[in-house]
Structures are given as structure tokens and as C-alpha cells.
């Protein structure tokens, strides 16, 4: 006796004996596994690109605000502390004053070295 499970109109047998150890099953299992792995890797790359763009824009915006059009800014902690508190309240971990400061100083360093061009993943992004 075979137990069967209904998925809509499709009837699937649970582990047919003929597929448990044969090469055809291993081949389809390998193909499906590769599809899932590839999709996960693609999703991770997309997320990384989006986060790179977001952090670049955050850095750029903070430096722009602090400098107020001047070449150098007077770096204080009030803005960073307030941003850290509000962003952590809204988004959770990852927005400590130290993390924001590190991102901001990274941006300032790139600006000073004249390599502050936005990453290519920013195509189509804007700060409104």
C-alpha cells in the first residue's frame, strides 16, 4: 500500500521505492538544490548591493548636513547620538553612535581622497 498526499489536483506518492537510490533521483535532487543555492546567492548579492547604496547615501547625507556647505565640519556627537537612538528605535540593532560615526568618517576619508563617487549600485537612487 502507498500513502498518497494531494496537492491540488496533483497526487504525490511519499518516497517511491524506485527513486530512493537511483541516479535519476540524485540528478534531480542535485538540480533542484543548485537552483535553490543560486537563488539564495543572487538574493544575497542584491541585498548587499542595496545596503551598500543605502549606507553610502546615509554617509553622504550626514556629512552634507554636518558640513553645511563648508569644506570641513565641526564634528559633534549630538547628531550621531540622536540618530542612533531614533534609528535603533525604528530599525533595531546596528545603529549605535559608533557605527554611524565609523560610516561617516569613512565617507569623509573618501571625500578627502577624491574617490567619493557613489557606488554603481546607486543608479536610480535619490535622496528626496
**For residue range 97-123, what is the model confidence (pLDDT) as tens digits?**
888 887 766 555 554 444 456 666 566
- Residue 111: domain span: 19-119
5, part of any domain: no
Q: How far apart are CA 3 and CA 48, in angstroms?
A: 44
In this prediction, residue 74 has a pLDDT band, given cuts at 50, 70 and 90, of low
> Does residue 9 fall inside a structural domain?
no
Residue pair 5/16 in contact (Cβ under 8 Å)? The answer is no
Whether 46 maps to a domain, the answer reads yes
43: in domain: yes
Measured from the Cβ of residue 83, the count of other Cβ atoms closer than 10 Å reads 17
Euclidean distance between the first and the last CA atom of the chain, given in angstroms as a whole number:
65
The total number of structural domains that make up the chain: 1
Copy the grid coordinates of residue 127.
535622496
pLDDT tens-digit readout, 25-62: 999 999 999 999 999 999 999 999 998 888 888 888 88
Residue 3 lies in a domain: no
> Does the residue 47 lie in any domain?
yes
Amino acid at each position: 500500500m502507498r500513502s498518497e498526499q494531494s496537492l491540488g489536483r496533483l497526487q504525490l506518492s511519499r518516497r517511491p521505492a524506485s527513486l530512493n537510490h537511483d541516479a535519476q533521483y540524485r540528478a534531480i535532487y542535485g538540480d533542484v538544490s543548485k537552483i535553490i543555492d543560486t537563488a539564495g546567492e543572487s538574493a544575497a548579492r542584491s541585498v548587499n548591493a542595496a545596503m551598500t547604496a543605502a549606507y553610502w547615501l546615509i554617509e553622504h547625507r550626514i556629512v552634507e548636513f554636518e558640513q553645511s556647505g563648508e569644506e570641513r565640519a565641526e564634528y559633534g556627537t549630538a547628531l550621531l547620538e540622536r540618530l542612533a537612538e531614533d534609528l535603533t528605535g525604528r530599525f533595531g540593532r546596528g545603529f549605535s553612535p559608533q557605527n554611524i560615526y565609523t560610516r561617516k568618517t569613512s565617507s569623509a576619508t573618501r571625500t578627502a581622497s577624491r574617490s567619493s563617487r557613489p557606488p554603481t549600485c546607486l543608479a536610480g537612487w535619490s535622496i528626496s
